[in-house]
Amino acid sequence: MKLEAPSSPSAVAVPNRIEGWAKVTGQALYADDVAWPNMAYGYLVRSPHAHARIVSVDLEAARSMPGVLAVLAGPGSTAPYGIMPSNQDEHALATGKVTYFGEPLLAIAAETLRTARAAARAVRVAYEPLAPVLKTGSQQKAAPQVREDAGDGNLHKAVDLEFGDVAAGLREAQFTRTDEFFFQGNNHLALEPHAVTAFWQPDGQLVLESSTQVPHYVQRSLARALGLPEHQIRVMVPTLGGGFGGKSELFPHEVAAALLSRSCGRPVRITLSREDVFYTHRGRHPVEMKVATGFDRQHRLQAMSFESRLDGGAYSSYGIASTYYTGALQPTTYQIGAYRFHGERWFTTKPPCGPKRGHGTTQPRALLEVHMDRVARDLGLDPIELRREILQPPFSVTVNQLDITTSGLAECLDAVERMSGWKERRGRLGKGRGLGFACSSYLSGAGLPIYWNPLPHSGARIAIGRDGGVQVACGITDIGQGANTVLAILAARSLGVALGRVRVTSADTGTTPVDLGSYSSRVTLMAGNALLTAAERMLDLLRQAAARHWQVPAQEIARDGEDFAVLGRDERAAWTEVARWAEADFGPLVTAGGYTPAPPRGRHKGSGVGPSPAYSFSACIAEVEVDELDGRLQVQRLYVAHDPGTPLNPQSVEGQIRGGVVMGLGEVLMEAQAFNPDGRHRGPHLLGYRIPTMLDVPEIEIAVVGQPDPNGPLGAKEVGQGPLNPVIPAVLNAVQDAVGIELHETPVTPDRILRALDAKRRRGNAR
């Protein structure tokens, strides 16, 4: 099956977003919009130092201000918490010392936000500044300890993997090359800043409405942080204004809102400012990387050694997973004879880094694809041809023990090559213009949960009401990617009913079965499979009821549209009628399904990161023009191919591809979560941290390719993250093609291009 999507959205006939009408009329309520009766406003006092000892805190003046309801100092949480079971190192509010600029240490609740802010000005905190720690590895020299609870030195974690004999592979290679690269960190920049309303009710139940991608993890971590039984906490997610990984764990403002609510007996809202979001961060790690490869005479990739050093910021967050991910997915695209990976994550006094769209795979993919391009250049080969010979085939096992099922990678290469006119146009575009290629792959959900357990990764429940309506309940969060709509589509298709019958309830730990959350591109595959199981069970009940009613064997029950009928007989009944028969027979109609991925093949330490039920594949060709006078890197057109298995909702598939591609474009052209030497963010606002506007985005031509995957619901794989990854190296490679400068870091801003061109000119003049 070839699923060639048209490049113009107009030709796509699709089911629309089920919540679309609410979002276009202003009716959709986001976390900062939900108004609770008698609500108070919370505010966090944050550190104005990157690294300092807290000498004293005086809260009296603030506490005595009229309208102030509560002023709390740290730690707030009764036990440290953290998303990774092995790294429980966070508290709601800093005590003892602060370890990044903007770290919260006090929480205030007041009648109004004005009063809360005034109270924040009235608290007195004395700090003893310490030297900031901004570099990693040996560049740290005699740096002070960032985390005093984390052993000696600032190395958070070092990991090593080796498959086969890499040293021998490199030694015996016909051709070797080494490249280094620094990938700058960046922020998710969801348009909606995080917000939460917490109400610690008088009956002891704690209810949160929070902008989170992971209500289950928030409930779980909060229970630990507050010493409460999990069932006393209910986490709900209102309409969520984008996540991209930035709302994927418990945050200080969520804990603080709960504590403030307990103190003042009222619901408390905390909304982060845009500045706060940059301090809360958990964005893409800055990574220094080095790759060495060895090729044999036939240009087969004999050996690869990959090293990465992550600048983690002040806390662990997802860091261990992030570190492993920088070495996990290189082999999913290329057959590698022997593969070695060394990864390190370092603590620094910066806002903690975490997962962002492409989690940990984006940075190494940038270097790997730039490296492959340079290898091809050195060998005098077409960069696409070089890759074509070594692609990891479908239904195969990678060198690092990952099971690949379907792969549309070869088709992705073909598609972008054809769409861009690569063969005819490359090298013939004229001065300052160039084409660059890259490809990549990504997970459709992680094979293992973040905390070990034998339970389903996703659960879904279907109920059919007496009204004939289909109620789907699942713990997933629609972060804007269209998850609720996909579930509605799957429910409608699997039950054979109109989309309008289906109502989806999600993201509420109090009413929906657990789904681990909207991260690692897992929702469509995992929740979709869980839902299909529930739907099969439901259909079975309905068939049984119909068979009993008509007194025929169940296998003679057929469907005609929504109706049920008997094969070869003139009997038929409407959906709702059959549902009522079934309710009469079995009681209220409820079925459930769960999904747990097959256990991963690898048994080595670190084998938990990388396995997935299915991998998506992508390729990109960037067409650029570099203006040598003003340094502007004009990306004129992007050609993108992606293999998402079966595209369940073509409109959403297209939207996810475009959104991911443009996010990648922002990362390579302009985005940087960068810091001054004193640890201050260079510009924690949208003029200092710039993302592309409509005028900065070129035409993007898209091909959707691939086969239905046996592990995906109706054959679907992921699309939310993968298409971002190839864009960055494709642009970097195109710049080299256009003006012959090798770039060694992101982002490629016009000032950097001018400097590089100037240096190149001077080298030229010197010769």
Partner 1 sequence: MMPLRPLSLTTPSRPEETVAALAAEGAAVLAGGSDLIPGLAWEIPTCDTLVSLAGLDALRRIETEEDGRLRIGAMATLADIVRHPLIRVGYPALADAAQAVGSPELRAQGTLGGNVCLGTRCRFRNQPPLWREALAPCWQSGGEVCHAAPAKETCVAILSGDTVPALVALRAEAEIWGRRPRRLPIEEIYTGDGTHHLHIAPGEFLAALRLPAAPPRAAFRKWRTRASIDFPEANAAVSAVWRDGAWREPVVVVSAVGPAPIRVQAAESLLDGSAWSEERILAAGDLARRAVHPYDNGQLNVAGRQIAVRGLVVRALGDMEMERREPVL
Partner 2 sequence: MAESVMRLRVNGREHHLVVSDEATLLEVLREQLHLHGTKDGCAVGSCGTCTVWLDGVPRLSCVTLAKTVEGRDVVTIEGLAGWWGRERPGEGAAAFHPLQTAAVEAGAVQCGFCTPGMLMAGAALLRDTPAPGREEIREALSGHLCRCTGYEQIIHAVELAAGRMGEATPDEA
40-46 vs 268-271, strand pairing mode: parallel
Q: Which is nearer to partner 1, 432 or 683 (CB)?
A: 683
Q: Tabulate helix, strand, coil % of the chain (nearest 5).
A: 30, 25, 45
In 3D space, the residue among 335, 322, 333, 397 whose CA is nearest the CA of residue 609 turns out to be 322
Q: Which is nearer to partner 2, 9 or 265 (CB)?
A: 9
Q: Which is nearer to partner 1, 165 or 696 (CB)?
A: 696
CB of 329 to partner 2, least distance (A): 23
In 3D space, the residue among 574, 586, 486, 591 whose CA is nearest the CA of residue 533 turns out to be 591
Non-local CB neighbours of 20 within 8 Å, separated by 6+ positions: none
Give the one entry of partner 1, partner 2, none that residue 248 binds, where binding means its C-beta sits below a cut-off of 5 to 8 angstroms depending on kind: none
Q: Work out whether 114 is an interface residue with partner 1 (CB under 8 A).
A: yes
CB of 669 to partner 1, least distance (A): 8
563-566 vs 557-560, strand pairing mode: antiparallel
In 3D space, the residue among 521, 444, 437, 448 whose CA is nearest the CA of residue 479 turns out to be 521
Q: Which is nearer to partner 2, 241 or 447 (CB)?
A: 241
CB of 270 to partner 1, least distance (A): 12
Listed ranges 177-185, 196-204, 573-581, 693-701: which one lies at the site for partner 1 (CB under 8 A): 693-701
CA distances in angstroms from 177 to 182, 303, 336, 595, 728, listed in the order given: 17, 11, 15, 44, 21
- DSSP 8-class letter at 9: G
Q: Which is nearer to partner 1, 190 or 526 (CB)?
A: 190
Contacts of partner 1 in 719-758 (CB under 8 A): 749-755, 758
Q: Which of 684, 706, 720, 726 binds partner 1 (CB under 8 A)?
A: 684
CB of 492 to partner 2, least distance (A): 18
CB of 36 to partner 2, least distance (A): 13
What residue ranges in 237-371 does DSSP mark as E strands? Answer: 268-271, 287-295, 301-313, 338-347
Q: Which of 271, 308, 711, 721 binds partner 1 (CB under 8 A)?
A: 271
Contact indicator for 416, 641 with CB cutoff of 8 Å: yes
CB of 409 to partner 2, least distance (A): 23
User: How many Cβ atoms from other residues are within 10 Å of residue 294's Cβ?
Assistant: 24
Q: Which is nearer to partner 2, 356 or 580 (CB)?
A: 356
User: How many Cβ atoms from other residues are within 10 Å of residue 683's Cβ?
Assistant: 16
Contact indicator for 236, 246 with CB cutoff of 8 Å: no
Q: At what angle do helices 727-739 and 750-766 cross, to 10 degrees?
A: 30
Give the one entry of partner 1, partner 2, none that residue 750 binds, where binding means its C-beta sits below a cut-off of 5 to 8 angstroms depending on kind: partner 1
CB of 240 to partner 1, least distance (A): 19
Q: Which is nearer to partner 1, 561 or 688 (CB)?
A: 688
Give the one entry of partner 2, partner 1, none that residue 190 binds, where binding means its C-beta sits below a cut-off of 5 to 8 angstroms depending on kind: partner 2
How far apart are the C-alpha atoms of 301 and 709, rounded to whole Å? 27
How far apart are the C-alpha atoms of 673 and 285, rounded to whole Å? 9
Q: Which of 12, 28, 65, 113 binds partner 1 (CB under 8 A)?
A: 113
Question: 716 forms bridges with which residues in the sheet?
Answer: 645
Give the one entry of partner 2, partner 1, none that residue 469 binds, where binding means its C-beta sits below a cut-off of 5 to 8 angstroms depending on kind: none
Give the one entry of partner 2, partner 1, none that residue 117 binds, where binding means its C-beta sits below a cut-off of 5 to 8 angstroms depending on kind: partner 1
Give the one entry of partner 2, partner 1, none that residue 567 binds, where binding means its C-beta sits below a cut-off of 5 to 8 angstroms depending on kind: none
Contacts of partner 1 in 443-472 (CB under 8 A): none
Give the one entry of partner 2, partner 1, none that residue 354 binds, where binding means its C-beta sits below a cut-off of 5 to 8 angstroms depending on kind: none
Q: Which is nearer to partner 2, 191 or 574 (CB)?
A: 191
Q: Which of 696, 701, 742, 745 binds partner 1 (CB under 8 A)?
A: 696
Non-local CB neighbours of 764 within 8 Å, separated by 6+ positions: none
Listed ranges 254-262, 332-340, 622-630, 712-720: which one lies at the site for partner 1 (CB under 8 A): 622-630
CB of 741 to partner 1, least distance (A): 14
How far apart are the C-alpha atoms of 749 and 751, rounded to whole Å? 6
Q: Which of 10, 56, 693, 765 binds partner 1 (CB under 8 A)?
A: 693
Q: Which amino acid is at 465?
A: G
Q: Work out whether 681 is an interface residue with partner 1 (CB under 8 A).
A: yes
Q: What is the 3-state secondary structure (H, E, C) of 107-158?
A: EEEECCHHHHHHHHHHCEEEEEECCCCCCCHHHHCCCCCCCCCCCCCCEEEE
Q: Which of 56, 297, 630, 764 binds partner 1 (CB under 8 A)?
A: 630
Contact indicator for 439, 413 with CB cutoff of 8 Å: yes
Give the one entry of partner 2, partner 1, none that residue 651 binds, where binding means its C-beta sits below a cut-off of 5 to 8 angstroms depending on kind: partner 2
Rg (CA), the chain: 27
CB of 269 to partner 1, least distance (A): 11
How far apart are the C-alpha atoms of 722 and 618, rounded to whole Å? 7
Q: Which is nearer to partner 1, 184 or 612 (CB)?
A: 184
Residue identified by tokens 């061109």 is 757
Listed ranges 316-324, 401-409, 674-682, 717-725: which one lies at the site for partner 1 (CB under 8 A): 674-682
Q: Which is nearer to partner 1, 615 or 675 (CB)?
A: 675
Q: Which is nearer to partner 2, 29 or 554 (CB)?
A: 29
Task: Report the interface residues with partner 2, using CB under 8 A.
Answer: 8-10, 12, 14, 16-17, 19-30, 32-33, 35, 188-193, 239-242, 244, 273-274, 479-482, 651-652, 654-655, 657-663, 685-687, 691, 693-695, 697, 700
Q: Work out whether 699 is an interface residue with partner 1 (CB under 8 A).
A: no
Question: 681 forms bridges with which residues in the sheet?
Answer: 675
Alpha helices of 551-618 — where are they, by DSSP H? 575-586
Q: Which is nearer to partner 2, 27 or 139 (CB)?
A: 27
How far apart are the C-alpha atoms of 272 and 151, rounded to whole Å? 32
Q: Is 553 helix (H, G, I), strand (E, B) or coil?
A: coil
Q: Which of 88, 176, 263, 273 binds partner 1 (CB under 8 A)?
A: 273
Number of H helices, E strands in the chain: 18, 28
Alpha helices of 635-739 — where are they, by DSSP H? 650-669, 727-739
Contacts of partner 1 in 36-65 (CB under 8 A): 46, 48-49
Non-local CB neighbours of 703 within 8 Å, separated by 6+ positions: 4, 5, 7, 412, 415, 416, 419, 639, 640, 641, 642
Q: Work out whether 266 is an interface residue with partner 1 (CB under 8 A).
A: no
Question: Counting beta carbons within 10 angstroms of the beta carbon of residue 680, is it exposed (0 to 12), middle (13 to 18) or buried (19 or more)?
Answer: middle
CB of 333 to partner 2, least distance (A): 23
Q: Give the DSSP per-residue string, 384-441.
A: HHHHHTTBPPSSEE-TTS-EE----HHHHHHHHHHHHTHHHHTT-S-TTEEEEEEEEE
Query: What is the size of the binding site for partner 1 (CB under 8 A)?
Result: 41
CB of 32 to partner 1, least distance (A): 8
Q: Work out whether 762 is an interface residue with partner 1 (CB under 8 A).
A: no
Q: Work out whether 135 is an interface residue with partner 1 (CB under 8 A).
A: no
Q: Which is nearer to partner 2, 42 or 331 (CB)?
A: 42
563-566 vs 572-573, strand pairing mode: antiparallel
Listed ranges 87-95, 198-206, 685-693, 698-706: which one lies at the site for partner 1 (CB under 8 A): 685-693
Q: Work out whether 184 is an interface residue with partner 1 (CB under 8 A).
A: no
Give the one entry of partner 2, partner 1, none that residue 754 binds, where binding means its C-beta sits below a cut-off of 5 to 8 angstroms depending on kind: partner 1
Q: Work out whether 117 is an interface residue with partner 1 (CB under 8 A).
A: yes
Residues that bind partner 1 (CB under 8 A): 46, 48-49, 102, 113-114, 117, 127, 129, 271, 273, 275, 627, 629-631, 669-670, 680-688, 690, 692-696, 749-755, 758
